[in-house]
Structure 1
Amino acid sequence: MTAPLLAHATPHGRMYARSTAEQPSVPSITTVISQLPTSLGGWFGHMAASALAKDPRLPTALGSPAELRSAVRDASSAAERYRDDAALRGTRVHHYCEQVALRALGRAEELDAARLALEENGEGGFAQRFDEWWELYDVRPVEPELTVWNTSLGYAGTLDLIATIGGRTCLIDYKTKNTDREGFVKPLDDKVVMQLVAGMKAEESLSDPERGDWQPWAHGDEPLLLGVAVGQTEVRAMRANPAVLRNHWLRFCALRRAWEAGLEADEAGKALLPIGPPPSRSVAAEPALPA
């Protein structure tokens, strides 16, 4: 994941501002999509169990409650460690892909340093496979890491790359992927179509983040939407099916409304208020005895 200049981490998710002098005002495309319910309970449990099973302390810990608790505690954070490591790897791979485009455009770049960072982390295969894909598809970059804005619905995002391939304008989103047992990159999630169609529906693109200069969106004439899975063993490009774009756009719109409803609920005030027991009922006075 990249860190565009106008993107900010907020309690309501990643949000974008119109310039460096303004506060964030709209959610990012990925924040909107994150409203989609997901269940990772099984994966978290699997990661914890696997980490515990591989822990070298386990044989001796079985006879020591204190050591066993320590091993279990460490194993319980295995999923978070894996997630954080994957995020850092994704950032390094995305950075490399951006530098390839910048060099092709003749702009200032850090390609050699980006490749070295991958190699130092045992990830040189990502760079090699990406270079092969870039040449095979004859990618002609137009603009890498382009921030876009949609005022009508209220969201913003940053596209990994706009390029021409085979004479067609393409909106490209990279996904760093692991390799399966057969040596193929793992498949892309269908949510990438929502991400791409939201980018296609942009109304403006950023030209100067410091001044907050934007220009009308110039790439919306039915571009090809490509999700590109970048792995150590191969790079696989998948085209978004034009027949389903409308459905995924409507779903994105619904998720945008869900995000706003959640924001309004959070800002409306406390959802739960303390309440005490009802007041005690007074005991009726007994009638006076006759004289």
Structure 2
Amino acid sequence: MTSPALAQQTDFGRMYARKIGELPEVPSITTVIGQEKMDLDGWIGHMAATAVVQDPRLGEAVGNPAKLKALARQASSAAVQYRDSAAARGDRVHQYCEEIALRAMGKPHQAAQAREALAANGEEAFAGHFDDWWDTYQVQPLAAEVTVWNASVGYAGTLDLVATLGGRLCLIDYKTRGTGRDGRVKSLDPKVIMQLAAGAKAEEMVLDAAAGTWEPWKYSQDPMLLGVAIGETEVQTVMANPDVLPAYWSKFWSLRQLWGATQRVNGAGPALREVGPPPPATAQSGR
């Protein structure tokens, strides 16, 4: 996935500017959603333990404290390495998806190069199943990797794809997913609904990031919100249930208020001040 030109990584999370080179003004959709912290302690511990058990050096390290310590130190970063590897793979898959959309819209593209990058990493199956999905769902792309802005609430983000499927306007978010034990692509996290709901509430879309020109959001005609899980064995498409969208939008709005409150607290100065004991009591004259 190409990095959105207006997005910047800051001390406050990923944020967006109105023009390339200007200071960022609002948080990204994913930064807002990230205010809801996830407990990953169990997963991190599992990844570390798995790394130790599967390390071919474990047998010779048993009984040797120094070697065991070295294995443990290396295994402690297993979760980070897995996360970074999955992120890089996701970027390559997203890049391919974007290039396919650009090609379909008759725009300059590098679809062949993007597929070669997947093949070089043993990931060409993702491209093959995406191609099948694209043809089966008869995707007619309207915009790819489009940056949107909501000034009323104060956030921005980038939508993977705006397209029509079967004549119906759709906002689409791709997620690269692993394969479960059953051989099926792993299901999407329901939080994708928040991401799609926020995108649907856009007020503007960028025309020229370098010039900083925008136009009113023109894809608000009751779009269908789709999450597309792209895996090595299949692609699964899910639709956001319209009945739950108000609740997910309300949660997103609340998380945006939390982000703002956190910045105000962080900039308010020291929260605690040391206070000394009161002065000694003055002796009162006797009666």
Same fold (TM > 0.5): yes
Q: Percent identity?
A: 56
What is the match of residue 39 of structure 1? 39
What is the match of residue 77 of structure 2? 77
Cα shift at 1:267: 1.1
Q: Secondary structure at the match of 2:243?
A: helix
CA deviation map 1:206-263 (0-9, x unaligned): 0000111000010111101000000011011101001111111100000000011111
Which residues in structure 2 correspond to 1:165-204 (within 5 Å)? 165-204=165-204
Structure 2 segments unaligned to the other structure (5+ residues): none
Change (3 A) 1:270 1:60: farther
Residue type at the aligned position of 2:14? R
Which runs of structure 1 show a deviation greater than 6 angstroms over 4 or more consecutive aligned residues? 279-282
CA deviation map 1:14-56 (0-9, x unaligned): 0000001310010000000001131111000000000011112
> Structure 1 CA distance, aligned partners of 2:9 and 2:219?
28
Q: 1:153 aligned to 2:153? A: yes
> Structure 2 CA distance, aligned partners of 1:62 and 1:272?
49
CA deviation map 1:160-193 (0-9, x unaligned): 0000110011000000001112211000010000
Residue type at the aligned position of 1:3? S
Cα shift at 1:62: 2.1
What is the match of residue 206 of structure 1? 206
Residue type at the aligned position of 2:12? H
Q: 1:133 aligned to 2:133? A: yes
Identify the range of structure 1 (78-87 vs 259-268) with the bigger mean alpha-carbon deviation.
259-268
Structure 1 segments unaligned to the other structure (5+ residues): 285-291
Residue type at the aligned position of 1:161? L
What is the match of residue 236 of structure 2? 236
Q: Secondary structure at the match of 1:242?
A: coil
Cα shift at 1:278: 4.9
> Structure 1 CA distance, aligned partners of 2:105 and 2:151?
30
Q: Secondary structure at the match of 1:243?
A: coil
What is the match of residue 288 of structure 1? none
> Structure 2 CA distance, aligned partners of 1:266 and 1:214?
32
Change (3 A) 1:276 1:53: farther
Cα shift at 1:2: 4.1
Identify the range of structure 1 (8-17 vs 263-272) with the bigger mean alpha-carbon deviation.
263-272
Q: Secondary structure at the match of 1:142?
A: strand
Change (3 A) 1:281 1:69: farther
Residue type at the aligned position of 1:135? D
Which residues in structure 2 correspond to 1:16-31 (within 5 Å)? 16-31=16-31
> Structure 1 CA distance, aligned partners of 2:134 and 2:110?
18
Q: 1:103 aligned to 2:76? A: no
CA deviation map 1:124-179 (0-9, x unaligned): 00000000000000000000000000000000000000001100110000000011
Q: Secondary structure at the match of 1:8?
A: strand
> Structure 2 CA distance, aligned partners of 1:122 and 1:181?
20
Cα shift at 1:277: 6.8
> Structure 2 CA distance, aligned partners of 1:270 and 1:183?
53
* CA RMSD across the alignment: 1.6
Structure number with larger C-alpha Rg: 1
TM-score normalised by length of structure 2:
0.95
Cα shift at 1:271: 3.3
> Structure 2 CA distance, aligned partners of 1:127 and 1:176?
11
What is the match of residue 248 of structure 2? 248
What is the match of residue 120 of structure 2? 120
> Structure 2 CA distance, aligned partners of 1:269 and 1:276?
17
Residue type at the aligned position of 2:67? E
Q: Secondary structure at the match of 1:197?
A: helix
Residue type at the aligned position of 1:114? A
